[in-house]
Structure formats: C-alpha cells, structure tokens
Amino acid sequence: AEERKAAAEERKAAAAAKEEERRAAKAAAAATAAEEKERRASMAEAAGARKAVEAEAKRVEDQERKAAEEEAAAARKRSADETKAAEAEAAAARKRLADETRARVEAERQSRQQEALGKANGTAAESEPESHRGLPGRSSHASSISSTRLERSQSRVSM
C-alpha cells in the first residue's frame, strides 16, 4: 500500500511539475508575444514618424520650388518690361532723329526756295559781281552742294 501511495504521490508530483512547466511555457509564450507586439508597434510608430518627416520634407521642397518658379516668372516679366522700355526708347530716338532730319530738310528746302525767290527778284543778281553774273557755274554751285548734303542726310535716315 505504501508503494502504491508513493507511486501515486510521484505521479502527482510529476503531473504538478508538468503543469508548472506548461504554465511557464505559456507565460514565456505570452511574454514573447507581448514583446513582438511592442516591437511591431514601435516599428509602426517609427514608420509613421518617418512618413511624417518625409511628408514635411516634400511640403518644404514643393514650397521652395514654387517660390523659385514665382521668382523666375517675376524676373522674366522684369526683363520683358525692360526690353519693352528700351525698345520704346529706341523708337522714340528714331522718331526724334527722323523729325529733326525732316525739319532740317524742310529748312534747307525753304532756304533754297528763298534764295531762288531772291534771285528771281534780282536781289541776288545785284549782289554778285558783274564778272560772275550769268555764268552757269557760280550761283548753281551753292544749290548743288545743298542738294548733295540733302541726299546724304536722306540716305543716312533711310539706313
């Protein structure tokens, strides 16, 4: 009977030890699962933080690119405005030159007309020495010089 009692106690102790071992394994598995869960949460948090940092970097980059594009557009506009102003200034200078040339040509024409009118009235004939009166080269020489100058100034204007 003692042997049976000892064998039963041994079996009980073995069963208790087995149960204890099973509980320890279960606790170790739960601890491992909790660690794994915590590790995954930490990784997800890090990934979220990384995504947030990347999103912020992209936002800043987009902002900088937009500012650079706006500055380039403003520079192009300034350049176009400056070009337009320079072209307007050059056109005004060409117009002034043309106006001055026209006025000079008109003044020369009127001067020649007055001269011709004066000669027709005989005032020019009286002022010429008698030896030169009626000679073809004398009085027409001054008007041929004027017309040559007129042709030169007109050719410069047309260029």
Render pLDDT for 94-123 as a digit per residue (tens, 0 to 9): 999 999 999 999 999 999 999 888 887 775
Q: How confident is the model at residue 117, as a pLDDT?
A: 86
The token pair at 10 is 């041994």
Return the amino acid letter for 149.
R
Residue 124 has pLDDT above 50, yes or no: no
CA distance 3 to 152: 147
Neighbours of 80 (CB within 10 A): 10
Residue 155 has pLDDT above 70, yes or no: no
Q: Domain extents for the chain?
A: 36-158
Q: Are 139 and 119 in contact (CB under 8 A)?
A: yes
- Cβ–Cβ under 8 Å, residues 150 and 105: yes
What is the spatial distance between Cα 46 and Cα 57, in angstroms, rounded to a whole number? 16
Taking residues 142-158, report their average pLDDT.
Answer: 59
Predicted pLDDT of residue 56: 96
133 near 81, Cβ under 8 Å?
Answer: no
Query: What is the rounded CA–CA span in Å between residue 73 and residue 115?
Result: 62
